[in-house]
Amino acid sequence: MSKLINDIMSTKLETIGRYESAKEAAKKMLDKNLSSLVVVDEQGQSIGIVTERDITRGVCIHDVPSKEYKIHHLMTSPLSTIEPNLSVEMAANLMLQNKVRHLVVKEGDKTVGIVTATNFIDYLNEQLGPVNPNVKVLRTLKD
């Protein structure tokens, strides 16, 4: 039987306001060892996502100080979302179709988690096991 998103998603979800700076986002990602933050509006609703890649490309391309560049200029919106009761295969297909590396997991209007490439690596390691018992798929980033 196929696993569900609920089985592999990360519930450790960090957020940032859309008017925070790129510098604040980068610091939070570094402190929490994450590669993305969910962007929330003033009511706490998820409205986008910002990744390390967004910050790197956005700040460098625009040649502005990171403390002056705001998240709402960098974030990806609308979010690519999935429900927790859908299959891991469906999530993989959705990520490929939308060309995204992060899916926000929503139950109705409530954000309950996130699925990243790291979750898929963990899932594959669990399902397939290493080809060679002395070799394991490496993870370099905690998504």
Taking CA atoms, 14 is separated from 87, 93, 130, 132, in Å, by: 24, 25, 31, 35
**Which residue type occupies 115?**
V
Q: In which element (H, E) is residue 81 found?
A: strand 81-82
Give the pLDDT of residue 21. 95
**pLDDT at residue 135, as a whole number:** 55
Count of helix runs (H) and strand runs (E) in the chain: 6, 6
Residue pLDDT tens, the chain, 143 long: 578 999 999 998 899 999 999 999 999 999 999 999 999 999 989 999 999 999 988 888 877 788 888 999 999 999 999 999 999 999 999 999 999 999 999 998 899 999 998 888 888 877 776 555 555 555 544 44
Domain 5-128 in this protein, CATH class:
alpha beta
Which strands form 46-51's sheet, in the order they lie side by side?
A: 15-17, 36-40, 46-51
pLDDT for residue 141: 47
Interacting residues of 1 by C-beta distance below 8 A, sequence separation 6+:
none
Closest CA to 99 of 33, 55, 51: 51
The pLDDT, as a whole number, for residue 133 is 58
What tokens does 51 get?
């990744």
